[in-house]
Amino acid sequence: MSIRRSRRTMMFAPANNPKMLTTAHLYGPDCVIFDLEDAVKYSEKDAARDLLAEALKVMDYGDTEIFARINPLYTEFGKDDVKVLVPAGLRNMRLAMTETPEQIKELDELLTEIEKENGIEIGSCKIQASIETPKAVMNVMNIVTASPRIVSVSFGAEDYTRSLGASRTKEGTELFLARNMVSMAASVAGIDAIDTVWSDISDVEGFKNEIRSSMNLGFAGKSCIHPSQIKIVHDVFTPAKEEIEKSLRIVEAAEAADISKGGVITVDGKMVDIPVISKAERVVRLAKAAGVIK
């Protein structure tokens, strides 16, 4: 069984904060996103980029997957973000305010050019498309299939509701359609969908409820704005013991039978087909990410 990298938590950290550049990964998120866009003032964007580049050259972030949220390429900062950070070691970038597949293709071409110039294997740099507007939601299927570099897609509710003229509520009814479309597109493309941030740090129960709702819609993880949110997300994403044991039996039986091209097997007296096996593999992946099993 091929175990995909876990992306349960993607914690934002401002790229102009030297302390966070050296400590963000220590809080235990699966991924850190160093933010060059919203978190950085216009006058500080060039300095923040250079600061992040120096950190990438010297820091060992261990198993934490490092992303940078780069500025859109149509701004005066976007292309320089890529040209400076990739040679410094960045291999994953979240493209802010992605609205069309053409924007992904433009970034893909720029990455290929930079990889060639710096002797980096072509295709090494990966993209996460950030879906933050109604236009982006309507284009999401074409966006996530625009490049083989895309490994995940994120949903940003704040800009989405602002663009829509809607109010962001804790119930999230105004986000239901958009979340479904993002999650379904990710599923079709075989990539991870990462849900939007929860801004009310004090409302832990509301946060837990939103995580469960996101999981039920098929999201693989949650964007986080504070270290205190990481353990909460990980705990909610950790499967129950009985579910893990059942999933392990299914995965082991599937591997022994090899029905990757179709067919069914019997586990615990029940018929099991490929969709059930896929769910079991996801449970095993989450259990391994939580350290419950090896």
Mean pLDDT of 57-68: 97
- What 3-state class would DSSP assign to 132? coil
Average pLDDT estimate for 184-189? 97
The first and second tokens of residue 292, run together, are 């419950």
State the Cα angle at 281 between 280 and 282, rounded to 5°.
Answer: 90
pLDDT at 2 over 70: no
Q: What is the pLDDT of residues 151-166, one digit of tens each?
A: 999 999 999 999 999 9
Q: How far apart are CA 282 and CA 196, in angstroms?
A: 21
Q: How long is the chain? A: 294
Angle between helices 228-237 and 274-289 (to 10 degrees): 140
Can you read off the two tokens belonging to residue 137?
Answer: 């939601």
Q: 110-146: per-residue pLDDT in tens?
A: 999 999 999 999 999 999 999 999 999 999 999 999 9
The pTM of this model reads: 0.89
Please name which of 243, 242, 249, 240 lies closest in space to residue 268, comparing C-alpha atoms: 249
Residues 184, 160 contacting (CB under 8 angstroms):
no
Provide the CA 287 distance to its chain's centre, in angstroms. 18
Q: Is-contact 12 33, C-beta < 8 A?
A: yes
